[in-house]
Structures are given as structure tokens and as C-alpha cells.
Structure 1
Amino acid sequence: MSTTDLNVHLGVWTNWAKGSSEGRTLTLTTQNGTILIAALALFVSVAASQSWGMLSFFVHQLRTTRKPHYGMHFQQQTTLRNHGSPLATVWQLVKISWAWRSQSVGSFKKSIGLVVLGLVYLMMFGAASVFSSRVATTSNEILVRSPNCGIWTLSADMSGDFEQMTDFNVHQRVNADLSKSYVRDCLSGYQSSPECNIFKQRAIPYLSRNNATCPFSPEMCLGAPNTALNLDSTLLDSSHDFGINSLPKDRVSYRKVATCAPVTTDGYIESGESHFKGRGYNYTAAYYGTNNMMNSSRDMYGGLDNATYVHTDYKSLQLGYDTQSGAPLYSVFVAPAIPEKPAMGFTPIEALNAPNSTVSLVFASFNGYSVAPSDDLWLPSHKVLEVSVNDPGYAPRNITVYTPDKPVNVLGCTEQHQFCNPNRPMDSESRCTPLMDWGTLGLLFDNYTAEIMDTTHQVEALTIIMYAALAAELRNTIPFFHAPLLANDYTSGFMSNPIPSNQWELEADNWFSTGMNVIQRYVAETATGAPGKYAKYTTDAAANDTELQWFCANYIMRDSAYQSFSVLALSLIAVFGGLAILASLWLETTIGWIQTKLNRGTFHKMCWKLDSALQLQRMAYEEAGMGNWVRCADDIPLTEKGDEIALPVEWDEWHPTVAGRPVPHTPMFDGGRDMVMQKQGTMVTTSSETTLAPTVERRPTLMTLSSDAEISREGDHADVISPVTPPMSPTIPAAVSSPLSKEVVVVSVQEHRDGGS
């Protein structure tokens, strides 16, 4: 089955298995889905970057104090203030720590907290960016809509429609082999293909135990007591397991139970010789009850009265060309006992009678040789045979092979079905039907649905699963398999490698698993319609059936050509990501307004503002006399209209800086003298807090004025910078007064080159 040509609902729909809120789903083509995933990852990255800005703001504010700090602290603050991406910020902090390692300030200790914080944040939101699409992507589940949706089944009035009957049987055979291949390839790990992901539930779960009691009279089962194989699907949900998208009140549960065991042939088979159309043959007849479907008394069925099955070597009488054509060495025949329709099978003997069950006897014969004996109870081979081999190019030789113990061996199985209304109380007698055979359940269908089901949607879902369960019974699957036994995988030519001693269990388990997939496939095909040339049998089948229309509009499959997203997850990502982005844009303004309103934190506010790159640039240029700056208290300072700034053309490579004309200032006088100190290459001028254009009043080292007018450095270690309460005009304040206040000059520095200023 392929969903290539299906009508798929694109857009928003509700997956009721997840509820009305979590189940809101957006389905897009893979191309559009990829675009959405990329946009989602980009959006999360932007939100993460903006969130990092908020985190940097709070860390900066928490670290802002009036206490003295080494210069590294202020570089870290500036890095946090002018944050880039988390990675860029972390890398800058690492470089700062490394640069200060020789300054005896404990740079690594003072940096580790910030670096770890940045790395943790980077990993968290890096993962969020990657996995956000996974959170939003529910799967490749799709809601199919097909004009060919409908149940394809044969009815009694179609007995003359041989074309449709033939098509139906051919299609049933194809589906049986598809399900067998699906179990082998997709569930047994043989190989994988897109076909492995077309059903809502990849595999239907079931329980298997090999200690069950014999489903027939104890003397009929081979092996030790309580060694029968019981296979139980438990209750399967129509929505979760079979893909019928319905509200909880419209769901039904289905259960299938099968029990199998090898059946004794002692006293129940006989061998002899006969002839048909002038050709003699050997036969082995099994007598477990009269076969009403194939009358064994007729010559074409063996000419034996009351036989259940007759195996012959008639077809083995052929030339070697035909025996090498690749036909399976194992041949299998299924004889069902259908309680409500005995004419469609055989009437079992009392010892094989299993009430409320469909009994199927699986007869197997092996037409080859085994290279080793087989101890399997159903397919035993212990008879020793010496075979002469005379291949061209090789010397003649004799080899020992093994043949089956008996021409025919029998495996008996019972099948039962059960339906439940999961909305009824667990202890309610009207919650479930009894476990019973499909035919009886079908006869009592109207009674049970009236008693157990609450809604018409439940009845519709139940009807479709009922038909699917019928198609999955052993009598309707094994005869359609091209190679019904896994044991065929051990054969080549006339020979077979040894099979496991529990081969019969493996075969029964495989049939049950295949049957579960047949149910999935049948329900899915009811929604999609029969494929190809068979579509004509279900076209417009739902035109006048409102309940079938409901089913046709509510079936979930999977298709890798589409992607489905959780609308709730997308909404949450959009809301929280959008809030993070908006909050980051208004955070500084809001916190600043609160600080101003409450008259608290103004120092922190001003430090945050002055640490910005544009304010630092403004103050550096201002101090160097480059430009006349206005609106200095704003986030973005400006120069006066028409003012142009020329970049420096000379610099000291050991101490690069910018230089320009001095900014306007009010000079300080001491005893009528303008205190202007001259050092080679440097103009030192006084500055004042009353400067109209705020300047950087800095103290790169503590300078004291000695008696011989030299400037010296105080101390051998890195400087400690002490911030003070800022003036109303934004600027970085000068250092605190030294005890040598009469000899201390707070200076601004201007570079003078030889030959001019």
C-alpha cells in the first residue's frame, strides 16, 4: 500500500487521541515543513539571543557596586553591557581573564562564574534551538481523504459476478503476501522501506506464552501437558492502534486470541494407493471430521469417504524441469471448522470440538530432503536415507539425508474475537462481548451493538474492524500466501538446512503477527479505497452513508512526504519566544523608569548606560576633543549638527589612542595660576564636573605631583578604580581624593606629537 496518490488534508485538524488542545495538528508538505522548521529554529535562536541580553543586564546590575575594583571587573561589565551572542560574550570573558593572568588579580577565579553561566546558557538554548522542531513536530501522521473510501466485500448476490470475485481473491492474495512481507521486513528487521511507516501504529502488540493448555481434548495435543502456544492481542484501541480518529466516546476496543498445538496423527491418518485419470498415485488421508466444502468421496478429492484432507504424490510425478522451477518444498492446506457455516469447512470430531472458537487444522507436508534431523513436533524428520549424487564435473558420491517421519503432519489452532466499549465501567456486564468465533459474533452483531455500543460512530468503527478481523483469520490468509511457512527460508532446490525444534511456534507466531497487520491493512484500505484497477469497486461507496462518510474523513496514516506539527507547541514557542523578545526590547526602559520612579538604583542605571559602546565612544572622543556632543544622557549621543570628526592619522603603537581638539572646560586655578602640567608628548589639563559636555575623568594610574613637577606611579600592582556617585550629567567619575589632595590633579590626557598638538 502506498499513500502517494492519496488526498491528504493539508492544514489544521484535530488528532483526538491527544485531546482537543494537544491534538490540534498542522499538516504540511515536506518542503513547506522544512521551511517551517528552519524558521522555527531561527526564531528560537533570536529569542535565545535576546534572552541572553536580559540575563546580561541582570548580572551586570548585580555586579555593579560602589566598592573599588580592578580594571578587569569593569572590562567584564563592559563586555556584559555590550553583549553579542552568548558564545561571543563567553569568548571575550575568557580572553579578558587570560590577559589579566599576570596582574595578580585572581583573573580566573573572578571569571569562572561568568564563563560557566554563559556556557550553561549556551548549551541550554543551543539544545532548545535544535530540539524545538522536535517538540513541535508530532510525526508524519496525516489525515487521509479519498473519494474511493468504502468497504469492499463479497455478498451472496455476487455469485454470478466472476470478474469481481476473481479480482477480490487476487487482491486478497496480494494483501496477504504484502502483510507477510511487512512482518518479515519491518517487524523482524530483515530490511526497511517507506512501506514500514504507513500505518499509525508500526506494530500491533500482542502477548505470547507457550505454557497454555491444549485447546482440544488433552489426548489430541502432542508434547508435554500445558505446552500449547497462546497468542493474545489484548484489547486494542480503534484510535491508537488502528488509526480511526475519533472522540473518546466513539472508540471501541478489539481483542483476538489464538491457541495452537501440534495434533497427533496416530489413528487419524491412513495411507494407500489410488488412481486418477488413468494415472496411479500414493495418498495419505486424514480423518478429523467430514470436509463439507471438499467432498472427499469424489474422485477429484481422493474418492475416500469422510476424509478431512487427502495428500497425494500426484503432482510430484513430473519431470525434473518442473521440480526445479522454484516451487516451495513445503505444501500447506487449511481446513476450517466454522460453527455458523459448517458447509464452508469441515465438521470436527468431538475431540477437536472447541466451543465458541473457529478451529483450523493446518496440514503440512515436505517434499524434499533435510541435511540434518528435525525434532520439531509439527515438522519432524528422522528417517535416514542414502542418496547418490552424480553432479557433472564431480565424482559420484553418496550422502545421508533425512525425510519426514510421516507424509502429513497437523497443527491445530483456535481463534476467538472480542469487542468492548472502553467507555463502560470495568465491572459492567455490558462492557464486552464474550470471546467467541467470528461467525457467531457476526450473527449476534446487531444484538451486541445495541447492548454494548453507545454511539453510531462506535458501530461503524466496529463494523469495519469486524470485516478486517474476518480477512485476518487463518482460513483467509494461509491459503493465499505464496510461501506460507518460514521453513521455506531454509530450503534450496531439493534440500533444506536444519530447522529449529520450535519451528511450529515460530510459524504460528508469524501467522498471528501477519494477521494483525492484515487487520491494519484492511482498515486502512477501507479509508483509502482499493488501489489501481480495483478502485472501481469502492468509488462513491460512502455517497449515501453518513456513518461511512464520518469514517472516511477521520482516518490517520503516515507518509514521509508530509510533516505534521503540534499547533499547541508552535503557539507556546511563538508566545514565549515573542514575550522574551519583547521583554528584552523594553527591559532597560521599564527597569530604568521604575528606578527613576522609586528613586532607587540610579547608580546602577547610570553605570549600565555609561558602559554602552556608544557612551564609551562618546566619552573617549569627548576627552580627546573630537566633536561637540549633545544629548549625552540618551542611549545614543549625537554630535552637533554639521559637526564632523576626522580620525587620527598618527598613533603610538604601544599605546594607541585618539586625539583632537580639547573640549570646552572650566579651568581650575591655584593661587591665580592655571595648573597645566606638561609631560613630553602629553598635554595634561584640568577638568571639572561643570563641563557642559561630560568627559571621561579617568585615572589610569594614581598620579601625584612631586616637588620637581614629575608625575609618578603609586604602587607596584594593577590600579584599583573607585567609582563615586555620578553627577547628573552622565560621565565616569574621577577617583576618590588621595590623602595628598593638595598635590593631586585629576587629569584628562591629550596626545601631543613632536611638531604640534
Structure 2
Amino acid sequence: MEGYTSTDQSNSSSPTILYNYSKDGYTFWSTPPQDLSMSPDVAAHYDVLVSEAYADNDNYFFISELHRTQAAISLLLLNAEEIVYTVPTEDPWFSATTPLPGNYTSPVFMSDLNASVLGCATTMLFCRPDLPKSSGCLDGFSGTLFGGNGTDGFDALWPEKDRESTIRTIVDLLNQSPESFYWLPSVSAILAGDTVTGNEQLAALPADQWKTEREHLFRAALTQFQSKLVDFARGFWDGGGVLCKQEGASCRRACHTQRAKSPKFYSFPAFTLMLVVLLGGLIMLVAMFLEDLIGLLIKHTRLSNTRLAFAHATWKASSTMQLHRLAHENLGLGSWKRTDEDIPVTGRGEMLGVFDVDDRRHVGMRLPSEEVELVAAGKEGVVVRGRKQYERVPSNL
């Protein structure tokens, strides 16, 4: 983009640099910075001015050298006049190899130009996959697309009225160049700005930093397209748009929410969830009442044979509470009731066996000692060898 600048000397104290990329005169202008120095207290940032024109539009105003077919031509003027660089960079857009005047402990550099221009051409085609590219694509930046004269090409590629209305809506949503991110007031679209502290660029920008910037912007544009398509599929489009307001044109909103793969939500079939809940609940109920059900079957059906009855009795006797009953009953302790149910019980106040832990490697159950029997008989406590060994525990039972 060199060779298209001139200097306006009408103001000798502050000459103006003109960037002559328009057929009718200059496109941008800039003035040299005043008293640039390192200042951590100054919040400097990169400014980008955008000038854009459609190549196939009758109002195309750039010089012929910048013309490209089927493209949106954009000129990006990068203004970094307030930023100083701790490391020089030879990137053509961020070029900074000029030493900053002043006494500094280490070399400091400033931009070689007051502002530098980057030219870009963006192509956007909307194609039918079942047609060849030469005849099955619509130029998203064509001048006829927004001419409103009924020759925009939608009806030729999509003769079905419903499809044309849907595609027209999608094109209207996505018809936006990546340069639109530079117009956002509160978001910086320059990656190099992330490493600026105060007015100092602390990073060593590579010689192809401009490529990184453009790739970043292109990825952001693709992400925006995906987000807009998801919103449209979910019925969030509220109408409007240039392509929808033209004479004879119509746009259709997606009235029914579509399934879209997105991290914003998760979809699952309600039938599967209901089936899992019902089967899980059924298994829990069967496990809870299985023993009672088998007992009823043995008692009231023809399944009541000796072998099955023996197996069922063995199963019930192997439960934890019944094993406790068997241990005490084998010692001749307790008058047991409900021995065929889940929880067997003894009479009130009956004596049960005690654990013998003299041999901790072989713990057993034995008959209660005489002292325990005395306490059980009504004494408040028994003293053995000068110490109270057994004592009645108060009970409200």
C-alpha cells in the first residue's frame, strides 16, 4: 500500500498526511504524534479506522488498483501513535523500528509511520450444493443483491418460494464482513492490544502479526455466523433487514424450535428418561418386597413343595437378625417369637448371651455370668474385687 500518500503542508506546525486511495481524493488523513514518551499512567490502545466498498456496486469509490471481483474491499488504517515498543517489529502493519528520542536504560521504539494501511478483500458466496459453483452461487457482496430491482438472483437459484424466503433470511443475517468487529465500541479486535500496558507494547510482535490478526478476525466471523444460524433455527429472528424489505421480497421466520448442537443446552429424549425411572422404580419395589412375594407364592399356590419351602426357610434364617436369634437360642436363652419374620423378638426382660472377648482372635458368645444375672434380677450393681463391674442401665422401656 505504499506510494499513495502525500503531505499537506498548509499547517507547517502540524503537517497532515493524506492517504489517497479514493477516486475522488484522499481516504484517510493523520497527523504526527506530539511529545511521545513512555508513560505507564497513560492508557493507550490501537485504533483502527475502516473504509469499505463493494467491488460490484455502482457506488464503488476506491481507485481501480484496489478493484477485485466478487469481493468487499476494505482499507484498515491502524493508528498506534501513542504506543511505544520495547522490542522493534518489522511487521508491515505494526512496523516500529524507529528509536524513540530520549534517555532510556534500554532501547525504546515508536511506529515508523503515523498510521499504516492494510488492504483486504473478503469474498462471501452462498451456494447450492447440488449445482456447480460457476452457476450455483450467490455473491454475498454483489451490488445487485441490495439493489431492490428484483434481479438479486434468489428466485433463479431457489425457485421454490418457501426455500427462497428461508435463504433470503439467512443471507440477510450473515451478510456482514469481518471488519464489523472493529466498529464495536467496547471490544478490542486487535490481539496485539492484549500485551499493551500503559502505553508500552511489551511483546515482541512477529513479522507476520498482521496475518495473525486477520486469522483471528476470520475465526470470530465464523463463530458469529454459527451463533446467528443457531438463533435463527431456534426461532429468535425477529424480522427486518435490507433484503427482506425490498419490493416483492419475503422472509420467513423459523417458527418451530430446531435441534441444534450447542454448549448452551443439552437435549435428551423424554421417553428414555421416563423408561429409566420406571424400570429403576420397579426394580427397587421388587427388591423391597421380593421375600414377601415368594412367601405368599409358597403359601397360596402350588409352588409349595418341600424343596422350595426348605430353600425359602434357609434363606430367611440366613438374614442378620435371624442369625442373632439362632446364636442366642442355641445357648438356651430367650423365648423367641416371630421366628419366621424379618425381625425376631424375645419376651420383655429376658436374658441374652454375652460376647467372650478374652481371646480377641476368637471371639465367641457364652452364657451370662452370675454377676450379670444378679443385676438382671433387680440389683442396682455388683462389685467385683473392689470395683463396680456391672450396673443396671436406666431404661424407660
User: What is the TM-score with the length of structure 1 in the denominator?
Assistant: 0.36
Question: For residue 373 of structure 1, what is the aligned residue in structure 2?
Answer: 88
Instruction: Note if 1:282 corresponds to 2:15.
Output: yes
> Offset of 1:581 from its aligned partner?
1.1
The aligned length equals 334
Query: Residue 461 and residue 274 in structure 1: after superposition, are their counterparts in 2 closer, same or farther (change >3 A)?
Result: farther
> Offset of 1:492 from its aligned partner?
4.9
Deviations 1:599-652 (A, max 9, x none): 76555333213223454455556652743757x6x445888xxx9453218868
Query: Residue 353 and residue 606 in structure 1: after superposition, are their counterparts in 2 closer, same or farther (change >3 A)?
Result: same
> Offset of 1:550 from its aligned partner?
1.5
Given that 2:14 and 2:31 are in contact with CA atoms closer than 8 Å, whether structure 1 keeps it comes out as yes
Q: How does 1:53-68 map to 2 (within 5 A)?
A: none
Given that 1:337 and 1:348 are in contact with CA atoms closer than 8 Å, whether structure 2 keeps it comes out as no
SS of residue in 2 equivalent to 1:285: strand
Given that 1:273 and 1:280 are in contact with CA atoms closer than 8 Å, whether structure 2 keeps it comes out as no
Selected match of 2:78 from 364, 384, 387 = 364
Q: How does 1:357-756 map to 2 (within 5 A)?
A: 357-368=71-82, 369-384=84-99, 387-389=101-103, 400-419=107-126, 427-429=130-132, 433-434=136-137, 436-439=139-142, 442-443=145-146, 447-448=153-154, 451-452=157-158, 456=162, 462-470=167-175, 472-481=176-185, 483-492=188-197, 495-497=200-202, 498-519=204-225, 527=236, 547-548=252-253, 550=255, 567-568=270-271, 570-588=273-291, 593=297, 596=303, 603-616=310-323, 619=326, 624=332, 626-627=334-335, 629=337, 634-636=340-342, 644-648=347-351, 653=356, 656-657=365-366
Separation of aligned partners in 1, 2:58 and 2:201: 38
SS of residue in 2 equivalent to 1:356: coil
Query: Residue 272 and residue 571 in structure 1: after superposition, are their counterparts in 2 closer, same or farther (change >3 A)?
Result: same
> Offset of 1:272 from its aligned partner?
2.1
Question: For residue 377 of structure 2, what is the aligned residue in structure 1?
Answer: none
* Alignment-mate amino acid for residue 596 of structure 1: L
Which has the higher relative contact order, 1 or 2, with Cα contacts under 8 A spaced 6 or more apart?
1
Higher helix share: 1
Instruction: Note if 1:270 corresponds to 2:15.
Output: no
Deviations 1:316-364 (A, max 9, x none): 46999xxx86453x44322222135443x53342x43322111212232
Selected match of 1:311 from 15, 21, 29 = 29
* Alignment-mate amino acid for residue 575 of structure 1: L
Separation of aligned partners in 2, 1:381 and 1:480: 26
Given that 2:144 and 2:151 are in contact with CA atoms closer than 8 Å, whether structure 1 keeps it comes out as yes
> Offset of 1:584 from its aligned partner?
1.6
Using the aligned pairs only, state the percent identity.
19
Given that 2:126 and 2:139 are in contact with CA atoms closer than 8 Å, whether structure 1 keeps it comes out as no
SS of residue in 1 equivalent to 2:68: coil
Question: For residue 62 of structure 2, what is the aligned residue in structure 1?
Answer: 347
* Alignment-mate amino acid for residue 205 of structure 2: I
Separation of aligned partners in 2, 1:488 and 1:360: 21
Unaligned runs of 5+ in 1: 1-263, 297-306, 390-396, 530-544, 660-757
SS of residue in 2 equivalent to 1:570: helix
Query: Residue 620 and residue 596 in structure 1: after superposition, are their counterparts in 2 closer, same or farther (change >3 A)?
Result: farther
* Alignment-mate amino acid for residue 313 of structure 1: T
Separation of aligned partners in 2, 1:271 and 1:574: 77
Query: Residue 598 and residue 399 in structure 1: after superposition, are their counterparts in 2 closer, same or farther (change >3 A)?
Result: same
* Alignment-mate amino acid for residue 353 of structure 1: H
> Offset of 1:503 from its aligned partner?
1.2
Separation of aligned partners in 2, 1:446 and 1:600: 88
> Offset of 1:473 from its aligned partner?
1.5
Given that 2:48 and 2:78 are in contact with CA atoms closer than 8 Å, whether structure 1 keeps it comes out as yes
How large is the Cα RMSD of the aligned pairs? Answer: 4.9
Given that 1:621 and 1:627 are in contact with CA atoms closer than 8 Å, whether structure 2 keeps it comes out as no
Unaligned runs of 5+ in 2: 239-249, 358-363, 369-397
Query: Residue 445 and residue 507 in structure 1: after superposition, are their counterparts in 2 closer, same or farther (change >3 A)?
Result: farther
* Alignment-mate amino acid for residue 436 of structure 1: D
* Alignment-mate amino acid for residue 90 of structure 2: D
SS of residue in 2 equivalent to 1:355: coil
Separation of aligned partners in 1, 2:154 and 2:304: 75
* Alignment-mate amino acid for residue 76 of structure 2: V
Question: For residue 534 of structure 1, what is the aligned residue in structure 2?
Answer: none
Query: Residue 601 and residue 442 in structure 1: after superposition, are their counterparts in 2 closer, same or farther (change >3 A)?
Result: farther
* Alignment-mate amino acid for residue 92 of structure 2: L
Given that 2:86 and 2:108 are in contact with CA atoms closer than 8 Å, whether structure 1 keeps it comes out as yes
Separation of aligned partners in 1, 2:352 and 2:344: 23
Separation of aligned partners in 2, 1:319 and 1:376: 21
> Offset of 1:493 from its aligned partner?
5.5
Given that 2:99 and 2:107 are in contact with CA atoms closer than 8 Å, whether structure 1 keeps it comes out as yes
Given that 1:415 and 1:437 are in contact with CA atoms closer than 8 Å, whether structure 2 keeps it comes out as no
Given that 1:416 and 1:438 are in contact with CA atoms closer than 8 Å, whether structure 2 keeps it comes out as yes
Query: Residue 317 and residue 271 in structure 1: after superposition, are their counterparts in 2 closer, same or farther (change >3 A)?
Result: same
Separation of aligned partners in 1, 2:288 and 2:313: 18
* Alignment-mate amino acid for residue 88 of structure 2: P
